[in-house]
Amino acid sequence: MTASGTFGYGTEYSQLFDIQRLGAIVCKGTTLKPREGNPQPRLVETASGVINSIGLQNIGVKALIKEKAPVWAGWRVPVIVNIAGDTVEEYGKLAKELDGVEGIRGIEVNISCPNVKAGGAAFGADANSAAAVTKAVKAATSLPIIVKLTPNAGEIAGVARAVVDAGADAVSLITSVKGMAIDIKTRRPTIGNVTGGLSGPAIKPLALALVYEVAGAVKVPVIGCGGIATAQDALEFIMAGASAVQVGRPRSAIPAPPWMSWKALRVLWKKRG
């Protein structure tokens, strides 16, 4: 599968390679209202991964249902919608909106978002909040639910057990890890939002250990994610207990993901004039 936020809505890549060969596409995190995202700069390279702080820039659930779902309905590859909210109620509303929409085959619940009502700590950092979100989503939809766990939680196996008890059909992990970089010339953080999420090869050992821990704690399928760049990496995750994997931004210091051939880049270049 593609990891949320690294593959847009799938439509952007459909002319570059045969996306129907993918196991599934997980689209960009979607909120109730459209969001413009965080201040620039939002992406910085580090030695072995990128730090991003996109801030959930997205078109909002209404536009997603109107513009994207009808296209997805004609695809062989299943599309899973990643959702994000600031309150438990928002998650429930999002799930209700998506329920029964043709072209949407599942929901991935991003619980790394700050829980506005509980003072800004991530839903995923606390088993009770994570379970409350899962329950609200489960009650609002008959679609399969994947809950995406954050490595920034103290006790991830406890959170995993809580979301499964609350109705999650599968769990995916991990989202990016809180990170920071500073430009020593300007003495300022290189990310506009000061900190962001680190992803890529740097987080693979951490993700693998957490997948191993969670796979031992729950009986539902576990989807591994974090720094997977090669088939060998994917096999490591499967050996650690994952049933499937997601690939985001595989390598640092290369301008494009490996599926982008020179031919594909030329097509893009021409399109941009």
What residues are labeled active site? 113
CB distance 185 to 162 below 8 Å: no
Size of the site for ligand FMN (CB under 6 A): 25
Q: Sign of torsion, CA 20 24 27 32? A: positive
Residue 247 is a binding residue for ligand FMN (CB under 6 A): yes
Using CA atoms, how far residue 38 sits from 126, 191, 194, 196, 218, in Å, is 25, 10, 11, 10, 35
Interatomic CA distance for residues 245 and 249, integer angstroms:
13
Please name the residues in contact with 272: beta carbons below 8 A apart, sequence gap of 6 or more. Answer: none
CB of 122 to ligand FMN, least distance (A): 12
Q: Does 257 bind ligand FMN (CB under 6 A)?
A: no
Give the range of 127-135, 154-162, 226-234, 235-243 binding ligand FMN by CB under 6 A. 226-234
How many other C-beta atoms can be found within 10 angstroms of the C-beta atom of residue 156? 24
CB closer to ligand FMN, 88 vs 185 = 88
The answer to whether 133 contacts ligand FMN (rule: CB under 6 A) is no
Measured at the alpha carbon of residue 55, what is the angle toward residues 256 and 184, in degrees to the nearest 5?
A: 70
Q: Tell me how far, at minimum, the Cβ of 158 lies from ligand FMN, in Å.
A: 20
Nearer to ligand FMN, 1 or 131 (CB): 1
106 near ligand FMN (CB under 6 A): no
What is the spatial distance between Cα 98 and Cα 66, in angstroms, rounded to a whole number? 11
Q: Which is nearer to ligand FMN, 5 or 10 (CB)?
A: 5
Residue 120 or 266 having the CB closest to ligand FMN: 120
Q: Report how far Cα 259 is from the mean position of its chain's Cα atoms.
A: 19
Minimum distance of ligand FMN from residue 261's CB (angstroms) = 20
Among 2, 48, 51, CA closest to 29:
2
Per CB under 6 A, the list member of 225, 240, 242, 244 interacting with ligand FMN is 225
What is the three-class DSSP state of 239?
helix
Binding letters toward ligand FMN, positions 56-95, x by CB under 6 A: x-------------------------x-------------
Give 28 or 93: the residue with its C-beta nearer to ligand FMN.
28
Sequence-ordered list of residues with C-beta below 8 angstroms from that of 181, at least 6 positions apart, any chain? 44, 46, 51, 189, 190, 191
> Considering only residues 181-210, where is the footprint of ligand FMN by CB under 6 A?
199-200, 203
Interface residues with ligand FMN (CB under 6 A) are: 3-6, 28-29, 50, 52, 54, 56, 82, 110, 148, 175-176, 199-200, 203, 225-228, 247-249
